[in-house]
Amino acid sequence: MSSDLEQLYQQIILDHARARHGSGLAEAPAGDRVGESHMLNPTCGDEITLRASVHDAGDLMTISGISWEGQGCSISMASASVLHDMGTGLRRQDLLELVDHFREVMRSRGALEADEEILGDAAAFSGVARYPARVKCAMLAWVALEEALLAAG
Amino acid sequence: MPVVSTPATLKPAPAALDNAEVLRIRNDFPILGRPVNGHPLVYLDSGATSQNPASVLEAEQEFYEQRNAAVHRGAHSLAVEATEAFEAAREAVAGFVGARGNEIIWTSNATEAINLVTYAFSNATAGRGPAAAQQFRLGPGDEIVATEMEHHANLIPWQELAFRTGATFRYIPVDDDGGLRLEEAEKVIGPRTRVLAFTHASNVLGTINPVRTLVELAHAQGAFVVLDACQSVPHLPVDVKELDVDFAAFSGHKMLGPTGIGALYGKAALLNAMPPFLTGGSMITTVTMEQAEYLPAPQRFEAGTQKISQAVALAAAVNYLQETGMDRIHAWETHLGQRLVAGLEAIEGIRVTGPKAGSERIGLAAFDVDGVHSHDVGQFLDDKGIAVRVGHHCAQPLHRRLGLVSTTRASTYLYNTTDDVDAFLDAVAGVRKFFGVAK
C-alpha cells in the first residue's frame, strides 16, 4: 500500500470512522444554550446534523456537549468523531480558535505542518490537505459546529 | 475542407475489436499515455466525460489557425469557410444519428438541449410561436411522464415545466433488476400523457431501455417522446428515425468530442412549429422595435455566437467513431461491461446495481462496497491511477430507490482493454481490507 494513501487514511481516522464518537443527537444539559446545524455536501451527498450546547457561567462559556448524526465518507465521519472528543469541555473561544487553526491547515495544500500539541487527534487529518477534493469532507463537521455555536448564541 | 464529411455508407466492419486493436486505438489518445500517481492511467470514467483522439484536438486547432470567424454573418472568405465547416459538421453529426442536418440544433450540452424543449413548450403554453405551437401547450389535466432512472438533466426540467404549466409530473418506476416496470408504464402512460421523457441507456444501472416499445405506448396516446441519448449515441449505433423518437439529446464530450457542445435532434415539422427558447442575434428574419420574426430550425434555436470550433471538433470525433465502427465499439464495450459485472459480483461485499451478469447492459457498472463510502473507494482507486466516478451520478431518486446514497461507477469506452478492467477488479478486491471492514 502506498505511503500517500496511508498518510491520508491514518489508522486513527479509520478507527474514528468506525467508532463515531458523539454519534446520535444528545439532549443538552438543562439550562444550557443549544444550537443545531445541518450541513450537506451536494457533490457527494455527505450529510451531518450537529448539535452543540454551551454552558454559560457568566464570564466563562464552555462547550457542554457536541453530538451529531450523519452519513458520509470515512474522512467526514472520523472528523466529526474527533471533533466530539476534542471539543467537549473546551472553552467556547478556545474551540473556535481550534476550528480556525484546523481550517488553516486543511486549506494549506500540505504547506502547513499540523501541530499535534494544538490539534491532538485532528492532526491525523493533515494528509487530507494534499487532496483538495477531500478538504470539504474533513471540514464538514467543523463548519457545522461553527454554525451550531452561532445558533446557540 | 477541414471537416471530414460523413461517409454515405459505413465501411463493412472488419473483425470485432480486440485488445491488439484497442492498444493501437489508445495511441490516438494523447492523455492515455500519462501516468497518474505513479501508475499508468486506467481511465474508467468515460460515462462522465470521454477522452479526445488527436484528430479531434487537431481539428479544433486547425479551425482556429485557418478558418476562425463568426458564422452565418460577414462576407469575407474566413467567414464563408467557417460557415461551411460549421454546417458540414452539422451534417456529419446528423448523419451519425440518422437525422437530417436541419433537425440538429447545437446546444452547450445535453442539459441545455432538454431545457430547450421544456422552455419551448412553456413559451408555447404562454401563447408564443406559430399557430402549430398549440400542440405543445400544457395545462392542468395534462401529464408529463419520466422514469425513476433518469439523470437529473432529464428529470428536473420536466418537474419545472409541470410547475410552470400546471401539468402533472408522473414517472415509471424501476424494478429490482434495474429495468423499467413496463406493466406500470402501460398504466402511467394514458390519454392525459403529453410528453414521455426517458433515457435510452441508464448512466448508473447500465440498462438499455426498450425505446420502440415505449415510443409506441406514447405515440398511441398522442404524446411526444424525448429521449436522453447521452449514454447511447457515444456507445452504440443509434438511428433516431428508426427509433421514431420526437426529440433526442446527446452531448459532445461523452463521444470523444470537446466540452461545451451538445445537440438536440427534433423532427423537422416539430422544430418548425416550436417557439424559440433563447432569443437574440442570428435567429431572426425581421426585427422591429415591437417584435421579431424567426428563422426556421435549426437557426431559430441558435441565438448568439455559436460553438463553432467545438462543432468542427465534434464532427472529427464522429468521423473517428464511424471509422472504427459503432457496431464493433458496442460489441467490445458489451464484452467489457460483462467482464466488469461478473468480476464485481465475484468480490465479497460488493453489490452491483442494474442487470446481473449475462443480462444486457452497456459497458459500465455502478456498485456499492459494503462498509466503505464511494468517495473512499474512489480515493483508493485513484491512488493506483484508476479513474472512476463516485457519488450519486446526478441520479438521487434512483439511488434512493436502490436504498443507497452513492455508488462507485466504472465506465468503459473503445480505448479500454480487458487489462484495464482486470486492474480495476484487482484493486476493488483490496478495498474492504484496506478500510478495515474485511480480513
Q: Quick check: A25 contacting B, CB < 8 Å?
A: no
pLDDT band of B10, cuts 50, 70, 90: very low
Same fold flag, B40-51+325-434 and B77-320? no
Please report, as a single letter, which amino acid is at residue A51: R
Identify the closest residue of chain B to A5 by CA–CA distance.
B383
Cα–Cα–Cα angle for B210, B214, B215, nearest 5°? 115
Identify the closest residue of chain A to B377 by CA–CA distance.
A73
> Which of A23-27, B13-17, B293-297 comes out lowest in average pLDDT?
B13-17
**Quick one: cell of B264?**
438536440
pLDDT band of B3, cuts 50, 70, 90: very low
d(CA B17, CA B325): 9
Q: What is the mean pLDDT of residues B124-134?
A: 97
Q: What is the mean pLDDT of residues A115-127?
A: 90
Q: Quick check: A20 contacting B, CB < 8 Å?
A: no
Which of A46, A73, A75, A128 should we substitute to test contact with B (largest number of B Cβ atoms within 10 Å)?
A73
Residue B5, pLDDT > 70, answer: no
Predicted local confidence at residue A86, as pLDDT: 95
Which CATH number applies to A3-152?
3.90.1010.10
Identify the residue whose cell numbers are 416550436: B274
Residue A17, pLDDT > 90, answer: yes
Q: Quick check: A14 contacting B, CB < 8 Å?
A: yes
Fold of B40-51+325-434: Aspartate Aminotransferase, domain 1 (3.90.1150)
Which residues 6+ apart lie within 8 Å of A113 measured at CB? A126
Residue A2, pLDDT > 80, answer: no
Cβ pair A134:B375 closer than 8 A: yes
> Which of A126-140, B234-248, B324-338, B414-428 comes out lowest in average pLDDT?
A126-140
The answer to whether residues B79 and B73 touch, using CB atoms and an 8 Å cutoff, is yes
Q: What is the mean pLDDT of residues B233-261?
A: 98
Predicted local confidence at residue B14, as pLDDT: 62
Mean pLDDT across chain B: 95
Q: Quick check: B396 contacting A, CB < 8 Å?
A: yes
Give the ipTM of the model, two decimals please.
Answer: 0.91
Predicted local confidence at residue B8, as pLDDT: 46
* DSSP states along B132-188: GGGGG---TT-EEEEETT--GGGTHHHHHHHHHH-PEEEEEPB-TTS-B-HHHHHHH
Residue A41, pLDDT > 80, answer: yes
pTM of the model: 0.94
Correct CATH for B77-320 of 3.30.1490.20, 3.40.50.150, 3.20.20.140, 3.40.640.10: 3.40.640.10
pLDDT band of A87, cuts 50, 70, 90: very high
Predicted local confidence at residue A101, as pLDDT: 94
Residue B4, pLDDT > 70, answer: no
Report, as residue numbers or ranges, the catalytic residues of B: 394
Q: Could you tell me the residue ranges of all domains in chain B?
A: 40-51+325-434, 77-320
Predicted local confidence at residue A79, as pLDDT: 97
The answer to whether residues B82 and B69 touch, using CB atoms and an 8 Å cutoff, is yes
Residue B12, pLDDT > 80, answer: no
Q: What is the pLDDT of residues B207-217, one digit of tens each?
A: 999 999 999 99
Cβ pair A14:B373 closer than 8 A: no
